[in-house]
Structure 1
Amino acid sequence: MTTGIYAAPVLARPTVAEVFVHAAARIHQAAAALWPGEPVLLDAHVPSVTGYVHRARVGERTLYAKTSILGVSLVSLLRGTCGTWPTVLQEQREYEQRPDGLLVREAAQLRILSGPAGPQVCPVAGIQDGVIFTEAVPGPTLADLLLVMPERTHELMEQPLAELRPLHRPGAARRLDPGGAIGERSIAGTFLRKFNGAAAEYVDDLGAERCDPDTRGAVVELVRASVARLHGLRMTLPAPVGTSLAYGDLKPEHVVFPDGPDCRPVLLDPGLLRGSPMVDLAKLMSRTVLVLVAHRPHPTVTRQILDGLALLTLSRAGNLGVRERRPWLRHLLTLWLMDTLNITTTYLSAPAALPLPRLGLTLVERALPVCLLVDAVSADLLDPAARGMGDRTLDRIAEVAA
């Protein structure tokens, strides 16, 4: 039996225990090589579906250590897409020395961005043998602040986008060697990789270890229908041309305000790639909506945040005329839906033994309303008679977050 299109037999797949023990050992070994003689204490595991992340004490410093195994997500690895654990270990030894490894590129991007003309980003403390160490950045995240000061949503969300102006300018792509891009975090690229022509079995198995059996069938059917619509909508999008850069992984939990909401934020975990600024806007909005769905704040708070999102959309549409604004909004909403489906299905396909972040656990529990939302909005986008797409979408989100 398999649980994915390229999955290895159940008994041959890597286990969570094997992966975590290996990753923790590599963090210790990498820290010892970078800072010989310093005591190393792995403080707290940070649940993630992408890589193994641990808060660590190295001497007197608090750092975050992250590993990447073969550059794939933990979910894909644990589903057996890279083969058996002995095979993975053998290939990982070579991968850790590659100059194009995922975390090598991430460290290079953080160093590029840390220049005087870039956004504020978390400093790189060191990288060794497939492990990256970054400095801890204390303070509330954008997600935290939105829930406690929803009336400032538009202002708060403009702040990380303002940090990215140097990347969003035409010609910014010259700052990044094409080989240094992290295309793995592209919204459209991830969608096409997950939902290609051979993805039927992947969709069929969604939620097999996570979802309530009474709702799993409905979730699978909704995902299947939404994927078909989004493939059609993708064909109507402008070609991904241009010379600007997208940050690539702009999420509310990756935006930290160490000096408070009135000061510049610090951005975590870049995924720079050549792309339109709309990529960053779409991911930021998608993940903000999922924060609402997961936390289900008071309806007044939800409405204030949604009003802020509406204002953000209007300001980002700029001086577009009525005729231009409709396809611009369709483009934005299509990317938003793709990203929402990408991350929701990743959580649903995670093995039961893999610890998920709080957001992931809640989205698994609320998978049906999230998938109903994606289904409804994707249908709206394909309806030529539909009017007021933005207002209708906000109303649908408010219902799901209620």
Structure 2
Amino acid sequence: MNTVAVPTRRDAQPSVADVFVYAAAHIHRAAAAIWPDQSVSLECHVPSVTGYVQQARIGERLLYAKTSLLGVSLVSLLRGTRGTWSTVLEAQQEYQNRQDGLLHREAAQLRLLAEMGGPRTCRLAALRTGVIFTEPVPGPTLGELLLEHPGDTAVLLDRTFTELRPLHRPGAARQLAAVGVIEEHSIAGTFLRKFNGLSGTLYMDRLAECRNKAEQRQEMLQLVHRSVGRLRRLRMRLPLADGTSLAYGDLKPEHVTFPDGIDGRPVFLDPGLLRASRMVDIAKLVSRTVLTLTAHRPEASVVHQVLHGLDVFVKSQVPMLSGRERLLWLQNLMTLWLMDTVNIMTTYLSAPSALPLPRVGTALMDRVVPVFSMVASISADLESSTTVRGTWEGALNDALVVVS
């Protein structure tokens, strides 16, 4: 009699359970090897769509532990882009010891920033077999302070960028040569990887299987296709990404902490240094600030104050340029802003339902159509050939509609 072979769990696509059980055990083994005389217990899991993050208590010391599978996002891995679970496990054995692995580069960047004396970052506690341990940074995050003290938005953003000044100076990129960049956090690079050719079209079409409400999926798909097409064309206007300065890369309101309170210096988490203009950092901070407002939907007075402060801050960052060049600089900034918004929103949407999303990501799943409507509106204005359209003020008005 002929029999049909039933695939084992290892021959199937990775599941959330596979990844979480493996990652937690791997973190525990790494911690036990580093601190053999200390008790090791894993505490709460920190939701993320990129790597697996968990609090680890080593004796009386609380640390954050993070591991990455093959250097790709959890969402990408769980979609099967790196093959079956057995294929992933086999490749991970080699990847976790590579000196150019994602977390090896992140650890090297933390060491470099500590040597530079700024910007201040979380302290690296240890690195072993692809697991990075960092010390927690207590205190409110930038995102929390913006919501609690909206009238101080411009001051908080300016203080954040003042701390980043050593990276944004011309020539700072030379210090990164021996460490390695983290291009995984490049806005334009991520956008092109996601939406390149036929694979990008298939990726967008699969968003029909996403988390948002079924009755909204067709409208959402149309908005995504329209916006991505425009942004691909607008990308051709962007200046070359490489430069002599550094961008922090993964600059999000929840990755900036103020341990000494609102009047103190900020401390940054999860560096993703890359050779790029500071425009990249400004664009990501604008994108994620708008999404933070959209997720929390605070009262109207808070929204207006935060967006006004964002307006003041961005205009203070525009180089001394002529009128036409100033407009072009702002349009390039807005293009990167929209690319980053599309990048993270589609990542949230394509995440398996069993994968816990960060709190902001969960809240945004109820605002998918308004967010992509904003992207479609601003990108249409940017693509317009008339000088009246595509303005920074117009984009802020579109953002106000979404977050109100």
Q: TM-score range by the shorter chain?
A: over 0.9
List, as ranges, runs of 4+ consecutive aligned residues in structure 1 with deviation greater than 3 Å: none
SS in 1 for 2:115: coil
Q: Are residues 1:87 and 2:87 paired? A: yes
Residue 313 of structure 1 deviates from its aligned partner by 1.2
What are structure 1's unaligned runs of at least 5 residues? Answer: 1-8
Match of 2:6? none
Match of 2:141? 141
Q: Are residues 1:208 and 2:238 paired? A: no
Q: Identity over the aligned pairs, expressed in percent? A: 59
Match of 1:3? none
Partner Cα separation in structure 1 for residue 208 and residue 245 of structure 2:
37
Residue 386 of structure 1 deviates from its aligned partner by 4.9
| One-letter amino acid of the structure 2 residue matched with residue 397 of structure 1 | A
Match of 1:238? 239
Match of 2:5? none
Distance 1:10 1:376, change over 3 A: farther
Q: Deviation per CA, 1:10-48, whole angstroms, max 9, x where unpaired? A: 982101001000000001000011111211111100000
SS in 2 for 1:378: helix
Given the alignment, which residue of 380, 396, 399 partners 1:397?
399
- Does structure 2 retain, via aligned residues, the 8 Å contact 1:168–1:276? yes
- Does structure 2 retain, via aligned residues, the 8 Å contact 1:117–1:166? no
| One-letter amino acid of the structure 1 residue matched with residue 225 of structure 2 | R
Deviation larger for 172-181 or 12-21 = 172-181
Residue 178 of structure 1 deviates from its aligned partner by 6.4
| One-letter amino acid of the structure 2 residue matched with residue 381 of structure 1 | L
Residue 242 of structure 1 deviates from its aligned partner by 2.0
- Does structure 2 retain, via aligned residues, the 8 Å contact 1:106–1:271? yes
Partner Cα separation in structure 1 for residue 72 and residue 347 of structure 2:
12
Residue 115 of structure 1 deviates from its aligned partner by 2.0
| One-letter amino acid of the structure 2 residue matched with residue 152 of structure 1 | D
Q: TM-score, normalised by structure 2?
A: 0.95
Q: How does 1:91-130 map to 2 (within 5 A)?
A: 91-130=91-130
| One-letter amino acid of the structure 1 residue matched with residue 13 of structure 2 | R
Partner Cα separation in structure 2 for residue 150 and residue 159 of structure 1:
14
TM-align CA RMSD: 1.4
Partner Cα separation in structure 2 for residue 86 and residue 113 of structure 1:
37
SS in 1 for 2:197: coil
Partner Cα separation in structure 1 for residue 219 and residue 225 of structure 2:
10
Residue 207 of structure 1 deviates from its aligned partner by 4.8
- Does structure 1 retain, via aligned residues, the 8 Å contact 2:62–2:135? yes
Distance 1:396 1:333, change over 3 A: same
| One-letter amino acid of the structure 2 residue matched with residue 214 of structure 1 | E
SS in 2 for 1:180: coil
- Does structure 2 retain, via aligned residues, the 8 Å contact 1:119–1:267? yes
- Does structure 2 retain, via aligned residues, the 8 Å contact 1:40–1:58? yes
- Does structure 1 retain, via aligned residues, the 8 Å contact 2:220–2:372? yes
- Does structure 2 retain, via aligned residues, the 8 Å contact 1:141–1:257? yes
Match of 1:182? 182
Q: How many equivalent pairs are there?
A: 394
Q: Deviation per CA, 1:339-367, whole angstroms, max 9, x where unpaired? A: 00000000000001101111111111211
SS in 1 for 2:207: coil
Partner Cα separation in structure 1 for residue 361 and residue 351 of structure 2:
10
Q: How does 1:364-379 map to 2 (within 5 A)?
A: 364-379=365-380
- Does structure 1 retain, via aligned residues, the 8 Å contact 2:319–2:326? no
SS in 2 for 1:205: helix
Distance 1:207 1:124, change over 3 A: farther
